Amino acid sequence: MTERAGPLAGLRVVEVGTMISAGTVGRLLADFGADVVKVEHPKAGDHLRRFGPESNDAGIWWKYLARNKRSVTLNLSTEEGSVVFEDLVAEADVLVENFRPGTLERWNVGWDHLSTVNPDLVMLRLSGFGQTGPYSERPGFGTLAEAMSGFAYLNGFPDREPLLPPSGLADGIAAMYSTFAVMFALYHRDVNGGGGQYIDTSLIEPIFSILGPQPLRYQQLDEVEERAGNRSTSSAPRNVYETKDDRYVAISASSQPIAMRLFDAIDRPDLKDDPRFETNEKRLENVEELDAIIQDWMDDHDRETILERFEEYETTIAPIYNVADIVEDDHYRARDAVVEVPDDDLGDALVQGVVPKFSETPGEITHLGPSLGEHNDEVYAEMLGYDTETLADLESAGAI
């Protein structure tokens, strides 16, 4: 295997699980140099391979989330497979799994056993509702977390039903929390002289935690925040506005100086002294009138003119982009936020770049998602030292 670059070069990760949350953790670690061995069932593989749109019989989600990883096949439910799994874990720094709680234990490869195989192991356990609690054994998906976390209740317009996000938001947020949790655990192990430990991440708690002080507001003020559409309950103006050329811009004037400059930008300096709009509290009370004034001005100007005008007055504004806009945007390109990666199935494939940026040890994308079991020989022979006869026996037993 070619040596990986990046700040996590030398870190060995075994990822066993399916779909988005565990796959995102593995992708983030692999982007920054970790050697991530993706373990998949010999016949089915990760369900992510067949999730969503495909091109040339290759799953788009798979190509993205499995980038930089090595794929091996292994049937953990067989006795031979569990032994191989133990050998993999013995060589690993980190194990990432997102099976329903109790699944690995049924296969005799749960934490209690694996921690004896590798006392220094950091094991991340991702699940819908966590390893403990009344709901722990329920199957969990991001949609359920988006519903039960309070996100969907807050998202959307007051006169419409709660609105779910269009993609795996809860999975992605849980994955980011889990990735820095893994690094915290490694710091404790490697810097503070601690040992291994397991991390319990549910899908519902991370997304709940980013919604602001909802419990505090409920307890202290007896308030349940309601849907406000594109408006904010904390500052005004904050909304989406349609331009003369049938496009959209977003405005957030969350500080007093910005709001005052906005009034200049829309040729209404008189509003700065208008008692309805002179403070943020007053603007929130009169937000309907304020939005109507801003929209009237937008109706007379195309988006490019509006963006130039607001930039001139140093007022916060952004165009509403779709992915085509993003791909063509010079700023995204200049920061390598969108990059082309050669792939055997897709050709020059356009994907999100590695973020964040490191000045001395940047991450990289070496390849997109591999074929099923592409690295069996490389991992089992080179990492674990299995000979040809052993590999043949494992294959005939249905273990790999």
Residue 309 token pair: 């005008």
Whether residue 1 is predicted with pLDDT greater than 60 in this model: the reply is no
Q: What is the mean pLDDT of residues 288-306?
A: 98
Whether residue 171 is predicted with pLDDT greater than 80 in this model: the reply is yes
Q: What is the pLDDT of residue 10?
A: 96
Whether residue 104 is predicted with pLDDT greater than 80 in this model: the reply is yes
Q: Are residues 109 and 43 both part of a single domain?
A: yes
In a domain, 46, yes or no: yes
Q: Are residues 129 and 98 both part of a single domain?
A: yes
Q: Are residues 136 and 55 both part of a single domain?
A: yes
In a domain, 45, yes or no: yes
Of the residues 275, 296, 319, the one at which a domain ends: 319
State phi, psi for 380 to the nearest 5 degrees. -70, -35
Q: Are residues 150 and 174 both part of a single domain?
A: yes
pTM (predicted TM-score): 0.94
In a domain, 221, yes or no: no
User: Which CATH number characterizes residue 312's domain?
Assistant: 3.30.1540.10
Q: Report which secondary-structure segment, H or E, holds 265.
A: helix 256-265
Whether residue 102 is predicted with pLDDT greater than 60 in this model: the reply is yes
Q: Are residues 205 and 261 both part of a single domain?
A: no
Q: Are residues 338 and 282 both part of a single domain?
A: no
Q: What is the mean pLDDT of residues 164-178?
A: 97
Whether residue 2 is predicted with pLDDT greater than 70 in this model: the reply is no
Q: Are residues 135 and 262 both part of a single domain?
A: no
Q: Per residue in 306-355, pLDDT tens?
A: 999 999 999 999 999 999 999 999 999 999 999 999 999 999 999 999 99
Q: What is the mean pLDDT of residues 185-208?
A: 98
Strands across the sheet containing 238-242: 238-242, 248-252, 317-319
In a domain, 75, yes or no: yes
Provide Rg for the chain, Cα atoms: 25
Catalytic residues: 171
Domain extent, residue 304, equals 238-242+248-319
Q: What is the mean pLDDT of residues 98-120?
A: 96
User: Which CATH number characterizes residue 132's domain?
Assistant: 3.40.50.10540
Q: What integer best gives the mean pLDDT of the chain?
A: 96
Q: Confidence band (pLDDT; 50, 70, 90) for 299?
A: very high
In a domain, 224, yes or no: no
Between the alpha carbon of residue 45 and those of residues 53, 73, 341, 366, 372, the distances in Å are 17, 8, 23, 22, 7
CB atoms within 10 A of CB 90: 12
Three-state SS for 174? helix
Q: What is the pLDDT of residue 4?
A: 81
